[in-house]
Amino acid sequence: MVGDSLGMVVQGQRTTVPVTMDDMIYHTRNVARGCSTALLMADMPFASYATIEQGVRNAARLMQEGGAHMVKLEGGAFLTDLVRQLSRNGIPVCAHLGLLPQSVHKLGGYKVQGREEAAARQMIDEALALQEAGADIALVECIPAELAGRLTEKLDVPLIGIGAGPNCDAQVLVSYDMLGLTPGRRPKFSKNFLIGQDSLQAAVQAYVHAVKSGEFPGPEHCIA
C-alpha cells in the first residue's frame, strides 16, 4: 500500500493534507516498477474525490499513470455513491474507516474512534453500506480491538487493521514505523522490527512472521 502518510514520513509534512495527486502518482509509479506479484493499493489524497466525477477521474489516474490496482478512500457512508460508480468502472476500492488522517483538523487531532457504543454501531453500519456499494476491502485505523472483532464478523470482505488489534483479517503498518525510522514518539500500536535484525529485509520478514503467527499486534499494541 502506498499511503499518503508519505507526506509525513518522507516529505516532512505535519499531516497528510498537503499530499497531492501528482505526489501519489509519482510514488505509486515507483513502487509499481518493483511490484511483480503483490496487489498494489494507493491512497486517494485529500480533496481528490470531493465529487463523483473528480473521484472517478483521479482514481483512473492512479491506475493508468501510477500503476495502482486498487484505490483507498477515507470516509463513511457518504461515499457509497462514489464507491458504486468506481466499482461500475472496474476500479477496486478499499474503504478506510475509524481515524481518518485527512480529517485530522475536523476531528481535532489523532484520536481513537469508536469507543462509545453509538459510534461503534455507526461505524459498523457505514462499513456494511460501503461493502454493499462495492468496496472490496475495508481498513480500520485506531479503533478498539473489540470493535475491530465485531467488524470482522459482520463483513464479508477482508478487514485490514492498523492500531485496531489482532481481530482483523490482515495488518498494516507505516513502513517507517515498522523499521524504527520515525523520529520522536511513535504510535502505541507500532513496533520497531529492525531491532535484533541485520537488514531491512530481515526486519520485514520478522514483521510478516509476527503477524502470521499472531504475535503482533500483542496486548501492548491494542487500544482499549
Closest-CA residue to 134 (of 48, 56, 21, 45)? 56
The C-alpha angle 94, 112, 23, rounded to 5 degrees, equals 45
Question: Is 224's pLDDT higher than 80?
Answer: no
Within this chain, do residues 57 and 153 fall inside the same structural domain, yes or no? yes
Confidence at residue 223, expressed as pLDDT on a 0 to 100 scale? 80
Q: Residues 174, 198: contact at Cβ < 8 Å? A: no
Q: Taking residues 82-94, report their average pLDDT.
A: 98
Confidence at residue 19, expressed as pLDDT on a 0 to 100 scale? 98
Confidence at residue 213, expressed as pLDDT on a 0 to 100 scale? 96
Confidence at residue 186, expressed as pLDDT on a 0 to 100 scale? 82
Confidence at residue 217, expressed as pLDDT on a 0 to 100 scale? 96
How many structural domains does the chain have? 2
Which positions are annotated as active-site residues?
A: 141
Range of lowest pLDDT (19-23, 95-99, 158-162, 217-221):
217-221
Confidence at residue 183, expressed as pLDDT on a 0 to 100 scale? 80
Within this chain, do residues 138 and 204 fall inside the same structural domain, yes or no? no
Residue 222 located in a structural domain: no
Q: Taking residues 175-182, report their average pLDDT.
A: 92
Within this chain, do residues 126 and 196 fall inside the same structural domain, yes or no? no
Confidence at residue 96, expressed as pLDDT on a 0 to 100 scale? 98
Q: Taking residues 112-139, report their average pLDDT.
A: 97
Within this chain, do residues 29 and 118 fall inside the same structural domain, yes or no? yes
What is the span of the domain harbouring residue 202?
177-213
Within this chain, do residues 50 and 135 fall inside the same structural domain, yes or no? yes
**In the structure grid, which three cell numbers stand for residue 80, read together?**
457509497
Residue 1 located in a structural domain: no
Confidence at residue 3, expressed as pLDDT on a 0 to 100 scale? 98
Confidence at residue 184, expressed as pLDDT on a 0 to 100 scale? 78
| Backbone conformation region of residue 165, classed left if phi is above 0, alpha if psi is from -120 to 50, else beta | left
Within this chain, do residues 92 and 200 fall inside the same structural domain, yes or no? no
Q: Taking residues 120-148, report their average pLDDT.
A: 98
